[in-house]
Amino acid sequence: MPSLAIRRYTATTALGRGRAVQARALRERAGGLRSNDFGDGALASERLDCWIGRVDGLEDAPLPAEFARWDCRNNRLAWLALQQDGMAEAVAALRERYGAARVALVIGTSTSSIGATEEAYTQLDDGAFPAAMVRSNIHTPHSLGGFVQAATGLRGPCVTVATACSSSAKVFAQAARLIQAGVVDAALVGGVDTLCGSVLFGFNALGLVSAQPCRPFDARRDGLSLGEAGGFAIVERDDAGDAALRLCGYGESSDAHHMSTPHPQGLGAQFAMRDALARAGIGADAVGYLNLHGTATPANDAIEAQAVGALFPDTLHASSTKGWTGHTLGAAGIVESVFALIALEDGVLPGILNSAERDAACGAQIRFDNAQRDIAYAMNNSFGFGGNNCSLVFGKAA
């Protein structure tokens, strides 16, 4: 495919707000997980013994008054992320340049603002939502897309993609298609997911939450740490061919295996990675860094490492950054794309935090230590429930 320009990107995670904070934390191997301190009421009295990647300050940062009807934790994080790295200004400039109807908004989430719905259920008055919570616009998956649309004034196609943990990787693919088909000239893509009872107790019910900070690809790994995050990127036509950073390829596939267990041979993951490399027109040996899905669950990591081993030479530097941020679910795609873009720009190739004991089932591509070197292409894998897989290839000008 013709590569697309990425002229601005940002992320806000447990590491802090904006690109520079993420880059420094990755370089200095300073993680953002903390002992679980999330939630009130039943969420607090039944609090799970685990570690989380929580974004500070959301409780004290209501949305501006004009957006009050959208106010909830998830949209607060969307707003906060949008204010970093000049993203809001860049979107306004994009709107001016192309016209609001020629810019798409494609944004991913797993649970959107279901945290607000959970909250309403703890405050039922004779079985009914309290008046302040009767806001149909937030008790639905498109709360996120609807809010960001209102906040940015974009009038092109506006979609919330919700394919669990691949959501905000797939937004790049959908945006690329919209641009390629001539429907729009540019797109604001991104993803936001916030901590809530559904994901904490849901993943706990599946037996997938570790009591320790997660240890991706460690032989002793025993589950994930959940996190929250928001991030955005601007994807544009690159007619002049002068973009420093580019989206070069995407690949999407399905496992066709199980709702919450990956395909035993990682076949779907392989298809997604092969498809992304083919669209980028590069061989596997051209990739300098691969940000893995690497959730730190026993099954995911072994299968993903096997799929990577089947495709890539031993010289590849591949890692999971979930030890820094936790698994940010529907935001993982954008956060880890931002990390891949940082690797391209700064030459910082993250290793893995918290992990020390290599798993014999994982190949030489899996790197625990950071590395520093100039690379031409970086990839990101995001896989979700339902066997939903997406891989992205980013590149930079030679």
Partner 1 sequence: MSSLAATVEGIGFWNDGLPSWPQARAFAHGAPAAADAPRRPAPQLLAPNERRRAPESVAVALDVALAACEAAGRDPASLPSVFASTHGDLAITDYICGTLASAPRTLSPTKFHNSVHNAAAGYWTIGSGCMRTTTAISAYDASFAQALVESLVQLASGEDAVLLAAYDSPSSGALSPVSRSEGLLGGALVLSRRAHGTRLRATLVDGDAPAASGPLARHAHGNAMAQMLPLFDALAAGGDVALLRAGPGRVLRVELAHETQAHDAPAREAQA
Residues 278-337 that bind partner 1 (CB under 8 A): none
The set of residues, in sequence order, having a beta carbon less than 8 Å from that of 207 and lying 6+ positions away, is 223
**Among residues 72, 142, 248, 293, which one is catalytic?**
293
Enumerate residues 207-236 that contact partner 1 by CB under 8 A: 207
Q: Report how many residues bind partner 1 under the rule CB under 8 A.
A: 75
CB of 26 to partner 1, least distance (A): 29
Determine which residue in the list 204, 212, 265, 370 makes contact with partner 1, applying CB under 8 A.
204
User: Could you write out the DSSP letters of every residue in 326-392?
Assistant: -B-GGGHHHHHHHHHHHHHHH-EE---SS--SB-TTS-TTB-SS-EE---SEEEEEEEETTTEEEEE
CB of 379 to partner 1, least distance (A): 17
The set of residues, in sequence order, having a beta carbon less than 8 Å from that of 48 and lying 6+ positions away, is 36, 200, 201, 204, 209
Q: What letter would DSSP give residue 71?
A: -
* Cα dihedral across residues 137, 139, 140, 144: positive or negative: positive
Enumerate residues 39-58 that contact partner 1 by CB under 8 A: 41-43, 46
Determine which residue in the list 15, 23, 52, 178 makes contact with partner 1, applying CB under 8 A.
178
Report the alpha-carbon distance of residue 397 to residue 242 in Å, rounded.
Answer: 8
Rule CB under 8 A: say whether 79 interacts with partner 1.
no
327 flagged as catalytic = yes
317 flagged as catalytic = no
Q: How far apart, in Å, are the Cα atoms of 269 and each of 41, 78, 367?
A: 39, 29, 19
Identify which of residues 257 and 358 has a Cβ nearer to partner 1 in the complex.
257
Enumerate residues 118-177 that contact partner 1 by CB under 8 A: 118, 120-122, 124, 127-129, 133-137, 139-142, 145-146, 149, 155-164, 170, 173-174, 177
Enumerate residues 338-397 that contact partner 1 by CB under 8 A: 384-388
Strand, coil or helix: what is 7? strand
Q: Which stretch binds partner 1 (CB under 8 A): 203-211, 296-304, 337-345, 361-369?
A: 203-211
Give the per-residue SS3 of 188-256: EEEEEECCCHHHHHHHHHCCCECCCCCCCCECCCCCECEECEEEEEEEECCCCCCCCEEEEEEEEEECC
Enumerate residues 232-271 that contact partner 1 by CB under 8 A: 252-260, 267-268, 271
- Phi, psi (5° rounding) for residue 25? -60, -40
Report the alpha-carbon distance of residue 96 to residue 150 in Å, rounded.
Answer: 16
CB of 30 to partner 1, least distance (A): 32
Identify which of residues 67 and 201 has a Cβ nearer to partner 1 in the complex.
201
Residue for token pair 């199980």: 258
- Residue of 15, 20, 7, 385 whose CA lies nearest to 189: 7
Identify which of residues 124 and 211 has a Cβ nearer to partner 1 in the complex.
124
CB of 351 to partner 1, least distance (A): 30
Determine which residue in the list 24, 62, 201, 306 makes contact with partner 1, applying CB under 8 A.
201
Determine which residue in the list 30, 93, 206, 356 makes contact with partner 1, applying CB under 8 A.
206
Determine which residue in the list 184, 187, 195, 341 makes contact with partner 1, applying CB under 8 A.
184
**Among residues 50, 72, 158, 165, which one is catalytic?**
165
CB of 331 to partner 1, least distance (A): 15
**Among residues 214, 263, 327, 362, which one is catalytic?**
327
Residue for token pair 């609090």: 47
Total Cβ atoms within 10 A of residue 34:
16
Residue for token pair 């940000």: 291
Please identify every residue annotated as catalytic. Answer: 165, 293, 327
